[in-house]
Structure 1
Amino acid sequence: MSTLDDLILKYLDVWNARDAAARDALIEAVLTEDAIYRDPDHAGVRGHRELSDMIGRARKRFGDMVFTLGTVIDAHHDTALFTWRLGPAGTDAPAATGYDVVDLAGDRIRRVVGFFE
């Protein structure tokens, strides 16, 4: 597994963390302080606090469902594209799937743009 794959898996761990303190520690390790997150439901979440708060609200809606990595499609320069799945743990029948484009700053993620299928 590559360093990029490891970083993406840690990013998905952020989304799977139900405990706010654990999620905050993961966010600090995985995303830059000025990180930006956008998807069809969120225009521009900025920084660790906003990201943690938004994910905390999403975790309540997702219940026991978890994010898993689909495929790291491609990466070049400081940008990567991957697919993800959201569904019950241990199943191959996701409730939702999508794509994320991430921009990197060193060994952390600086920007995430998500797309839902």
Structure 2
Amino acid sequence: MTTHAHALAERYIASWNETDALRRRSLIEDVYAEHARYTDPMVDAKGWEAIDATVSAVQAMFPGHRFALAGVVDAHHDTLRFQWHLASPGAAEPLVIGFDVASLQEGRIGQVFGFLDKVPQMA
């Protein structure tokens, strides 16, 4: 499970970084179950279309920034958890730090519970 969990988390992060709409949608459909749910303090997205719209909106809020796994992907049974960073290339510190817990359905993500540990102060 650990190797699969890490690979799935890497593809999940890649979907958040993909700016080409067709490639991003393909990644989302590969990573998430069709009726998956993504929730964090700011959004509750259900299904591929809503998740894709959420990713697109985040990219518009933080143009040029990239997501990256931050540490080890921990997994057991059909659940995985991992920390991630969002930063501009070459930045000394990430702008946003988050922690996600995902439950799997038949090898794809069925539910994500996202937590934001560090968020920028908005003016």
TM class by shorter chain equals over 0.9
1:72-91 correspondence to structure 2 within 5 Å: 72=72, 74-91=74-91
- Identify unmatched segments of 5+ residues in structure 1: none
Q: Deviations over 1:51-109 (max 9, x none)?
A: 10111111111100000001235211111110000001244421110100000112211
In structure 2, relative to structure 1, the CA distance for the partners of 1:111 and 1:82 (3 Å cut) is same
1:1-117 correspondence to structure 2 within 5 Å: 2-42=3-43, 44-72=44-72, 74-117=74-117
AA in 2 matched with 1:58: V
Give the TM-score normalised by the residue count of structure 1. Answer: 0.92
- Identify unmatched segments of 5+ residues in structure 2: 118-123
Greater fraction of residues in strand = 1
8 Å CA contact 2:83, 2:99 repeated in 1 = yes
After the TM superposition, which segments of 4 or more aligned residues of structure 1 sit over 6 Å from their partners? none
Q: Deviations over 1:25-75 (max 9, x none)?
A: 001111000100000001x21000011011111111110000000123521
RMSD: 1.4
8 Å CA contact 1:72, 1:80 repeated in 2 = no
Quote the Cα distance in structure 2 between the aligned partners of 1:90 and 1:105: 36
How many residue pairs get matched?
116
AA in 1 matched with 2:6: D
